[in-house]
Every structure is written in C-alpha cells, then in structure tokens.
Chains A and B, each alone.
Chain A
Amino acid sequence: MTKYLRLRRWLLACAALPMVLLGAAASQAAVPKEIRIGTLYADSGPFATSSLSQLAGLKFWVNEVNRQGGVFVRAYGRKIPVRLVTYNDRSSTTTAATLYNQLITEDRVNILAADFGSVLTSVAVPIAREHQMLLFDQTGTGAAFFTRDNPYIVLTSLPTSARWPYALADFLKAQGKIRRVALLYATNDFTGSQAQTLRARLQGSGVKLVFDHGVPTSTSSYALLLHNIQASRPDAVIEFGFPDNDIAFLHDLQASGIKFKMVFTIFPGQLLALVQKNVGAQTLAYTYTYPTPPLLVYNRVNYGMGLDRFSRAFHAATGTQPNFLNIAGFNTGLIIQKTLDTAPNLRQMTLRRSVMRFSGKLHTLDGAFRIDATTGAQIGEALPVGQFIPVGKGLTVRMVYPPAIATGRPAYPAP
C-alpha cells in the first residue's frame, strides 16, 4: 500500500511538474512591461494654473521612481516602470468625462487619478464607480463625492473642504479677544461648505457673526463689501475664496486703506508666490491663512522624501521652487506607490483594501494620510492656522494654532 502511495505521489509530481513550469512561464509572461497611471490635466481655462502644478508634482514622482528602476509592485514581486498617460481636458467637464472613459476603456490604465479640484473630479466619480476603478482623487474635496455606497474613491492630498476650518474656528474661539467675526465667502461648493462649518462651529461659542455674506465666485471687486464689513465693526474678517477671489479681496483691502485687526484668506497658504506677486508682501503682512507644505513642515515623515529633500530635488529637476499643488501631485504618487507596494494583486478593490491597511500609519511630506474607511474621504490631515510675519522685504509664516504645533503667539491686533 505504501509502495502504491509513493508511486502515486511520484506520478502526480511528474504530472504536476510541467504544469508548474508552464504556470511559472505564464506568470513571467503576465508581468506587465509598465504600470499605466492615467490622469487628466488642463492647459487652458480656469483650472489650468492649479492643474498644471499638480501634474508637475505627479510627473516628478513618476520620473523619480523610473530613475530607480520603477515602482515596486507586490503583485509581481518586482519593480516595474511607470508610464503616465495624460490627456488635456481644457477645464471642460464634458471633455473630461470623455477622457476619463478613454483612460479606462481604451488605454486600460492600471491606476486612475483625477484632475485638479472638485469640478473636474466630479465627472470622474460616477465614471470610476461604473467601471469599478479606484479613483485616486488628488484635490477634489467636494463632500458629495464621498458616500458610504461608493468604495471606488480615495482622497489623497487634502481633507474634504468642510473640515478645513476646524482649527480656524477653534482659534477664533480660543483667542479671547475676538467676539465679532465677519464672514465673506464665494458661493461654490469648496468655500460654501467651509462657511457652513465655520458658522456651525462658532454657534453658541460667544463669538458672533456680525457679517455673513456670500458672493458669486466670479466676483472681482470687493471695495463696497469691505466698507460694509467695516461698518459691522468686526474683530476678525474671514474671506473664503478661490485664488482670484483672495487676490482681488486683498488687493482691494490694500487700496481701500481699511485696517482690520485680523484678516484670514485661504490661498496665500497654498500659492504664496502667486498671491504675493499680485498683492505684494506688505498687504499679506500679519494676515492669516491655512499654511500647507512647503510653508508647513511635517517632520514626522516615514514614507518618501522629506520636504527639504523634495524641494531641492524638485528645484533641480524643474528649475522652480515647489508650491503646495506640486506637493499634492507628488503625494498622490506616494500614495499610489505605497498601494502598489502592499496590494497582493492589481484588482481595484484589492487596491482599496490595501489603502485601508496603511491608512493612519503613513506620514508623508504632506502630513498624515488617513482616510475614512466608509467613504474614502481624507481625515488625517488637519489644516492649522498661520500668520504671515514680515521679515525684511519678505514674509515668514508663524504657526499660531493649534497649540501643539504653534511656533509663536499671534500678533493680534495686526500692527
């Protein structure tokens, strides 16, 4: 009987050997020559500046990993070069819808990343879901994208916009001297949701909204509004807008000669060079913002380059100093890299599960990466409050809230 069993095992082994060899050969053949990452960009239209910056960051990541032989893909146990497949949507959602489909159905990309911002991401959300592709949403922070019944989305580089003013609201409440706040915001999903959060978090705190006004996003003149705000005698003025709104607001503030004790705007913290070029360092002095990298340095980096190394390498590669959107694009690359590094296969739900496994454990130059397990929304990064302090002819950022990362006390009221 034992002899029979041995013979049977031997025969089975002989029979299995060719299959194993064939399987191994097939497995070798199945290793792709490249990992295709598909994304869109806009070289014209209202989102061009931001979209191109974000793409530059992602491209930089692609070049970096390819320089090192490719990205490690656990599913194949080896490094594989990355190819970035990009199309130009010209800031049009209709064109973007066609091109996202092109990436999925014709180019058959392995990884899908969205274009900049909520508007150009909005059309990608249902398309990715329909095709069961995990969408690496880079900066589309609209809360409507993240629902419990859609596992095919992950927000990589920013928290959803409704979470942005958490620290700001707490700062206003904790300041003590601020009792009257003026809130001016552009009426769009991005800033409207921030206004809503601020309103809700200030309610019942003793800090009163003495001016609460929404203006169309296309607003380019704030002179009259500034006088209305002044008439409400606020202790702090919060302006939520897109870069063009912030620039126009700060420009008109400077031109009007009106002084407020505290002025807060969003985009100087993300696109300082652009805003400073348009309104000057003097106008920005002592104003407040949400500082983001490179103004904000996260020291606890356990994955990818730290900010200093990234800034030097990016400058060497592109000849420009990085802004936040460059970092956001690069950070998307890092999240993709970690996903491929940990996913046992390239099925899209496996990718999503892999993201969940490292969510909360990853710290990049863009801060903590943690997503809501049920919706895919980013909840790891918090946006602190910083104040621009003049240094010579330039500016530096002083972190003023939350206390854990504060580098100084706020200069309040502004001199």
Chain B
Amino acid sequence: MPRGGWYSVGVVLMFAVLPFVYGNHALLFNMMMYLVLAQGINVLFGFTGYLPFGYVGFFGTGAYGTSLAILLLHLPPLPALLVGAAAAMLVGLVLAPLLKLSGAYFAIASLAASEVVYYIVSNPHLTPLTQGPYGISLVQTYNAAQSYAVMVAVLALALGAVVYLRNSNLGLALQAIREEPISAGFAGINVVRERTRAWLLSAALAGLAGGVYAWHVSVFYPKPVFDLSISVFAIVFTLFGGAATLLGPVVGTLLLYGLYNWIGISQPEYFQLVFGIVIVVLVLFLPNGLMSLLRRIRVDVP
C-alpha cells in the first residue's frame, strides 16, 4: 500500500459506515463534497502553488454538465456524471492560459472566469439549453442513497489521486514546478504540460463533486452552485489542515466543517465569532496549517 493509502481507506470506510449510526446524511454528504473539493484545491494549490479562487466554476460546470446530460441526452446519472466531469475539464482546458499568470493575478483571474461561466450558464437567452436563471429540476432521477454512495466513490477517487501525487514522479515534478518553475524546466520537466495535467485533474474532481451534488439535491438554481463561498470553504479547509499533504485537507475539512455545523446547530449566535477567531489564530500562528505542527515534531505526515 502506498504511503497514505491506509488513511484514505479509513476515511472512505468511515463515510461508508457513518450513515448507519448517524441520521443527518446531508451533513455527511456535504462533508464529503467539501473533502473532494479541498483535495481538488490541494492538487492544484498544494502541488503547483496556484490558488484558484474561482474553483467553484468547475463545480458549477460539473453540476450543470451532469444535469443537462440527464435532461437533454436522457443519460442515467452515472454516465451523466462523466459528462459533468468532462465539461469541467473542457472549461479547464479553455481556461488553461490563465496558468500563465501567478499569485494574486491568477487567483483573481480564475474568480473572474468562474463568474463568466456563471453568467453564460444563467443567461436567459440560453434557457432552452441550460434553463437559464430558472433553475434545474432532476426530481425524476433523485436518489439520495445512490448519490451518497457515488459521493463515497468520488471521495475515494480524490484521495487516491492525492495518494498517487504524493508517491509519484508527477507529484515530485509538480512540487518542483511550485518551488522553482525555471529550474524545473531546466531539469527536464515539461512545466506547461505537467501543471495543465494538475489543473485538469483538479477541474475533473470539482466537476464530479458538482455533478453528484446536483444529483443529490435535484432542484437547484445557478447562483448556489456558482457561489463563491464554496471556493472559500474549500480553500480555508485546505489551508487549515495543510496543503500538499493527504491528511491536511482531510483534517481541515473534518474539523472546520464539523465545527461550522456544530456551532451552526448548537450555538448559532456565536458562529461568526468562533469561526472567525479560529481562522485568525490559524493565519497568525499556523500559516502552513495544522500538519505543520506534526512536521515540527518530526512526524512524517502523508
């Protein structure tokens, strides 16, 4: 088993078993969704250094790609999910030139790009194709149990992808690009190709997550699936746990999303205060995430 493999199996098994002991399956589903998105951010930001604020654009594209494949092509949900992932990758390919930018410029440009995708999808003139701003209804294919099971599979795929990157030459190449792209190029790494592969892999994960989300909720409007807060949550969870590791985004999502829901359910009046304090403390004292604490005491974090 490659390094981190057992942890991945453990996480997947946990989400496969939890529905039998905990009733709020939507919470578990959303947690898995954010785990997949956080790992998608991890693939891109952790391994290549690009921070995509517009990551939700791929999520929304996946949601719409899947939905339209069901509605227009009359595909069953599983093949439709592949269409959703392909649509997200296609958008990723079109937006690949954004990778010429770096730092804040890339972050802002990706955000603008996701807004462009949102406005195209929700354009009233495209109503016959995308339902425009009037929303999607997939009630005929709604199946909460199946969509939950498929999200477990997508989670396994996302964790598997990061395990692969943590243990492969591609992952090493990407980290070399992140640290010093020019030197990486001199060392024989095809910089453009490798980071485009990471970009498309990241887009596909978000597309799959968006597609399963669309299937799971079955009735939705364009704005909620292109909502910036989805990007922000996934980024915060990744940074909180620690990027470029397998466990960082997992721990970040489980802790922060768990806290988000725990406070939201039990102490909603303190939500913004507590959540804000946690994030400020993290940024000030643990900028590299919780996993950096373990690294300081020389624990090998997968």
Which residues of A are interface residues toward B (Cβ below 8 A)? Answer: 43, 87-88, 90, 92-95, 97-102, 105-106, 118-119, 122-123, 125-127, 129-130, 142, 144-145, 147, 149-150, 187-189, 192-193, 214, 216-217
Contacts and interface: CB of A to CB of B under 8 A. Distances in A.
A95 B122 CA distance: 22
B1 interface: no
A98 B30 contact: yes
Nearest to A43: B268
Contacts of B223: 119
A192 to B, nearest CB: 5
A145 B219 CA distance: 8
Contact of B218 (A126, A149, A192, A214): A126
18 contacts: A87-B265, A88-B264, A93-B217, A97-B30, A98-B27, A98-B261, A100-B26, A101-B23, A101-B25, A101-B26, A106-B23, A142-B135, A144-B219, A149-B139, A188-B133, A189-B221, A192-B133, A216-B133
Nearest to B144: A130
B139 A150 contact: yes
A121 B268 CA distance: 20
Contact of A123 (B139, B220, B261): B220
Contacts, number: 99
A92 B229 contact: yes
A92 B142 contact: no
Given A88-B268, A105-B24, A187-B122, A122 B135 contact: yes
B220 A188 contact: no
A95 B263 CA distance: 12
Given A101-B26, A105-B23, A119-B224, 13 more contacts: A93-B220, A97-B26, A101-B24, A101-B27, A123-B219, A125-B139, A126-B144, A126-B219, A144-B135, A188-B133, A189-B133, A189-B221, A193-B134
Given A102-B27, A106-B24, A92 B227 contact: yes
Contacts of B135: 122, 142, 144, 189
Nearest to A218: B223
B265 A93 contact: no
Nearest to A195: B124
A94 B224 contact: yes
B128 to A, nearest CB: 13
Contact of B264 (A95, A122, A123, A187): A95
Contacts of A214: 124
Most central of A99, A100, A147 by chain B CB within 10 Å: A99
Contacts of A93: 217, 220, 224
A67 B302 CA distance: 59
Nearest to B119: A216
A73 to B, nearest CB: 25
Contacts of B124: 187, 192, 214
B177 interface: no
Contacts of A94: 30, 224, 230
Contacts of A92: 224, 227, 229
Given A88-B271, A147-B139, A189-B133, A122 B27 contact: no
A126 B224 contact: no
Interface string B203-230: 0000000000000011111011001011
Contact of A144 (B119, B137, B224, B261): B137
A106 B24 CA distance: 7
A73 B58 CA distance: 50
A87 B264 contact: yes
Contacts of B24: 98, 101-102, 105-106
Contacts of B241: none
B77 interface: no
Listed from nearest, the 3 A-B pairs whose CB atoms lie closest are A105-B23, A101-B26, A93-B224
Contacts of A119: 221, 223-224
B134 A122 contact: no
Nearest to A189: B134
Nearest to B217: A123
Contacts of B249: none
Contacts of A98: 24, 26-27, 30, 261
